[in-house]
């Protein structure tokens, strides 16, 4: 039985990945989820799998060398899938330091621990061990509005925000381990994900939550920045396929060829919500494009991201399966059906966060 060590499995993509893996492999695999449970980590995301015999949760910080080494000493780990990170660009603009700590030093700790556990006396690595570093398209910087320009695996790194700079640094560390030690790893650079369990600091769940509460819908700048949206389960599938079918030491870009301007996303959410809500529901009366408020732009706001997923398609056969029209409706319905989840994650510190980040907006 293969044993996976998943970092950051209580977050948005990590929890969706764990669900995907149990759905696909059931009792053929074992998963150990290590997560520090920061504001973004939520064990409620994993409620329906937490009692499985082949699942273990360990609360630990990926920067804690002893705790991470202990997991490798006590378990014969076959696969590492490294999600844990500080992930929100706006937070990185306000407080960059924690991004360097978690994303750079945390990745270094993970790499060292895996290398220590997997390296043989002759400097080669135990058969079949693999590390997958989950990264972002933001490392490539920003594209202009030329619709023929895309991010390829060969595009030079040019990160702009403290978040993307920290992710680029972590990618470089993984590349250094591969180049120097022939450490068995892959990197995936993925575009914007959407789907269930995403913390409502990110555009889509924030807009859904505000719209249902009749609050204004903050759109940064002119609303014409473009993101390339991918349904989170498609990302989970890509990660699994890269780890099982990809060539070691390679980077794979993951994206949906699904570019949308932010304003289009916000309007779509309003339209779908209006469609889903009963006429008798008081929340429907308040829903209109009038809730949209153009606010001060994000500092250093990248204009456009667009992934060319040609390599992962031709080498591995991965393609996104969920079309945006279907995925966004499914996502909105999920939040709609899980208002208790939303209420729980927006209680406590969320209100303070929202007031601080949007006070001048
Ligand atoms: P998230 O913020 O929802 O989840 C991050 C998880 O990591 C949380 O459970 C948190 O508790 C945990 N964590 C944070 N610091 C930790 C630490 N020091 N030790 C242990 N655990 C810690 O993030 P996400 O959106 O699920 O992103 C997951 C990964 O995917 C990140 O590496 C991110 O850079 C990458 N990524 C995200 C997207 C996206 O659209 N969200 C796209 C491409 C790549
Ligand atoms: O591209 C992949 C990246 O996508 C990941 O690496 C990051 O972890 C993830 O957070 C995401 O980054 P973005 O900055 O693109 O996502 P966010 O949801 O924060 O913003 C999406 C777009 O919407 C962006 O252009 C900023 C804009 N925006 C965002 C918020 C929160 C608004 O206009 N208003 C808002 O209130």
Q: Which ligand is nearest to the CA of 99?
A: 1
Q: Is the pTM of this model over 0.75?
A: yes
Mutate which of 19, 20, 40 for ligand 1 pocket (most atoms within 8 A of beta carbon): 40
Q: Is 41 in the pocket of ligand 1 (CB under 6 A)?
A: yes
Write out the catalytic residue numbers.
137-138, 163
Q: CATH for 2-194+232-256+303-323?
A: 3.40.50.720
Q: Is 166 in the pocket of ligand 1 (CB under 6 A)?
A: no
**DSSP code per residue over 133-153:** EEEEGGGG--B-S-TT--B-T
Give the chain's length. 361
Q: Is 14 in the pocket of ligand 1 (CB under 6 A)?
A: yes
Q: Is 236 in the pocket of ligand 1 (CB under 6 A)?
A: no
Looking at residue 11, what is its pLDDT? Answer: 98
Indicate the DSSP class of residue 104: I
Q: What is the rounded end-to-end Cα distance, in angstroms, of the chain?
A: 52
- pLDDT, the chain, mean: 97
Taking the C-alpha atoms of residue 138 and residue 162, their distance in angstroms, rounded to an integer, is 11
Q: Which ligand is nearest to the CA of 253?
A: 1
Q: Which ligand is nearest to the CA of 171?
A: 1
- Ordered alpha helix ranges (H), the chain: 12-25, 65-74, 89-94, 97-99, 106-118, 162-181, 203-213, 232-245, 262-276, 282-285, 310-316, 324-337, 339-345, 349-358
Return the SS3 of 34.
strand
Contacts of 266 (CB under 8 A, 6+ apart): 203, 207, 217, 219, 223, 292
Going from the Cα of 204 to the center of ligand 2, the distance in angstroms, rounded, reads: 9
Taking the C-alpha atoms of residue 16 and residue 13, their distance in angstroms, rounded to an integer, is 5
- Nearest CA-CA partner of 174 in 162, 161, 188, 186: 186
Q: How far is CA 332 from CA 30, 193, 201, 258, in A?
A: 31, 14, 15, 18
Looking at residue 248, what is its pLDDT? Answer: 98
Closest ligand 2 atom to the C-alpha of 203? Answer: 18
Instruction: Kindly tell me the number of DSSP H helices and DSSP E strands found in the chain.
Output: 14, 13
Q: Which ligand is nearest to the CA of 167?
A: 1
Q: Is 134 in the pocket of ligand 1 (CB under 6 A)?
A: yes
Closest ligand 1 atom to the C-alpha of 137? Answer: 43
| Greatest alpha-carbon span in the chain | 71
Going from the Cα of 324 to the center of ligand 1, the distance in angstroms, rounded, reads: 22
Looking at residue 345, what is its pLDDT? Answer: 92
Going from the Cα of 221 to the center of ligand 2, the distance in angstroms, rounded, reads: 13
pLDDT tens figures, 210-230:
999 999 999 999 999 999 999
What does each of the 361 residues of the chain score in pLDDT, given as a tens digit?
Answer: 999 999 999 999 999 999 999 999 999 999 999 999 999 999 999 999 999 999 999 999 999 999 999 999 999 999 999 999 999 999 999 999 999 999 999 999 999 999 999 999 999 999 999 999 999 999 999 999 899 999 999 999 999 999 999 999 999 999 999 999 999 999 999 999 999 999 999 999 999 999 999 999 999 999 999 999 999 999 999 999 999 999 999 999 999 899 999 999 999 999 999 999 999 999 999 899 999 999 999 999 999 999 999 999 999 999 999 999 999 999 999 998 999 999 999 988 888 899 889 987 7
Q: How far is CA 265 from the centre of its chain?
A: 18
Residues in contact with ligand 2 by the CB-under-6-Å rule are 87-89, 136-138, 191-192, 202-203, 206, 218-220, 225, 227, 262, 298, 305
- Inter-helix orientation angle 262-276/203-213, to 10°: 40
Going from the Cα of 19 to the center of ligand 2, the distance in angstroms, rounded, reads: 24
Element (H, E) at 228: strand 226-228
| Number of neighbours of residue 154 by Cβ within 10 angstroms | 9
Residue nearest to atom 10 of ligand 1 (CA): 41
Pairing of β 55-59 and β 185-190: unpaired
């Amino acid at each position: 039985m293969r044993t996976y060590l998943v970092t950051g499995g209580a977050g948005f993509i990590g929890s969706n990945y764990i669900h995907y893996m149990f759905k696909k492999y059931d009792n053929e695999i074992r998963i150990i989820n290590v997560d520090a449970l920061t504001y973004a980590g939520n064990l409620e995301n994993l409620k329906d799998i937490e009692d499985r015999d082949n699942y273990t949760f360990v609360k630990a910080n990926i920067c804690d060398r002893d705790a991470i080494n202990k997991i490798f000493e006590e378990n014969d780990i076959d696969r590492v899938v490294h999600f844990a990170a500080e992930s929100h660009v706006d937070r990185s603009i306000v407080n960059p330091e924690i991004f360097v700590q978690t994303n750079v030093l945390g990745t270094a700790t993970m790499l060292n621990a895996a290398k220590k556990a997997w390296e043989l006396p002759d400097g080669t690595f135990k058969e079949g061990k693999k590390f997958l570093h989950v990264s972002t398209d933001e490392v490539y910087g920003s594209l202009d509005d030329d619709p023929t320009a895309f991010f390829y695996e060969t595009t030079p790194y040019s990160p702009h925000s403290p978040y993307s700079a920290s992710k680029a640094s972590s990618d470089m560390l993984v590349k250094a381990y591969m180049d120097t030690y022939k450490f068995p790893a892959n990197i995936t650079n993925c575009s914007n994900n959407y789907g269930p369990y995403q913390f409502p600091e990110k555009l889509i769940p924030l807009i859904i939550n505000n719209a249902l509460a009749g609050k204004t819908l903050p759109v940064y700048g002119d609303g014409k920045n473009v993101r390339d949206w991918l349904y989170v389960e498609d990302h989970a599938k890509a990660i699994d396929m890269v780890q099982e079918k990809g060539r070691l030491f390679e980077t794979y870009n993951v994206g949906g060829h699904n570019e949308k301007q932010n304003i289009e996303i916000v309007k779509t959410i309003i339209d779908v919500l209006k469609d889903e809500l009963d006429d008798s529901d008081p929340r429907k009366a308040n829903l209109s494009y009038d809730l949209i408020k153009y606010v001060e732009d994000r500092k250093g706001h990248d204009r456009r991201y667009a992934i060319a997923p040609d390599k992962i398609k031709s080498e591995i056969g991965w393609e996104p399966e969920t079309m945006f029209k279907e995925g966004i409706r499914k996502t909105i319905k999920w939040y709609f059906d899980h208002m208790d989840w939303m209420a729980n994650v927006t209680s406590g510190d969320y209100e303070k966060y929202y007031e601080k980040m949007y006070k001048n907006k």
